[in-house]
Chain A
Amino acid sequence: TQLLEQSPQFLSIQEGENLTVYCNSSSVFSSLQWYRQEPGEGPVLLVTVVTGGEVKKLKRLTFQFGDARKDSSLHITAAQPGDTGLYLCAGKRGEYGNKLVFGAGTILRVKS
């Protein structure tokens, strides 16, 4: 069982469309992170959300942390082909909170 569930698993949209990716868990996280990974490269951090209900914006990307700190969403406005990639949510678990675990990821393909 995945600790962090992401949906959808795969998304193919046209340039200019909006989309939302979800990350859900039955566990409370002190923080969640979103990473983006391009083929053949390592993941790169986009944002960290810490406070329940927090909303952060990064250009056309909007991230939200659920009030109960069990879920998060990533919304992209007017998607562009350069947004294509694997989007991963991640949270820290373990006795010392130092095990970074990932959701299964959402593969986004934006067609021009």
Chain B
Amino acid sequence: DAMVIQNPRYQVTQFGKPVTLSCSQTLNHNVMYWYQQKSSQAPKLLFHYYDKDFNNEADTPDNFQSRRPNTSFCFLDIRSPGLGDAAMYLCATSRDRTGPTEAFFGQGTRLTVV
């Protein structure tokens, strides 16, 4: 059974047209992460939530925003996608904020910008 679900799996958007990616989890985990991953590179942390506490990475562009309306759902909003934003976007959850707890990843959303 899928525990971290990302929708859609594939998203095509026009240059400059706002797009929202969604993530839901059935694990009731406190921590949710959004990563950007470009081809054959490591996932790059964009931001994460501990419960409702939002933590933005210093080098995450302002073009990227996030919302977490409740424990189960988290959204990634790209306000004006550029060609350089084409990537795989990964959502992950973790039970605790500290300790060696496992991160569970969704299957990702592949974003194409045309």
Contacts and interface: CB of A to CB of B under 8 A. Distances in A.
Interface of B: 4, 31, 33, 40-45, 48, 50, 55, 90, 92, 94, 96-100, 102-108, 110
Interface string A73-102: 000000000000010101010101111111
Chain A interface residue count: which class?
20 to 34
20 contacts: A30-B99, A30-B100, A31-B100, A41-B107, A42-B4, A42-B92, A42-B106, A42-B108, A43-B43, A48-B100, A92-B100, A96-B97, A97-B99, A99-B45, A100-B33, A102-B42, A102-B43, A102-B44, A104-B42, A105-B41
Contacts of B94: 98, 100
A7 to B, nearest CB: 13
Contacts of B55: 94, 98-99
Nearest to B98: A97
B108 A40 contact: yes
A11 interface: no
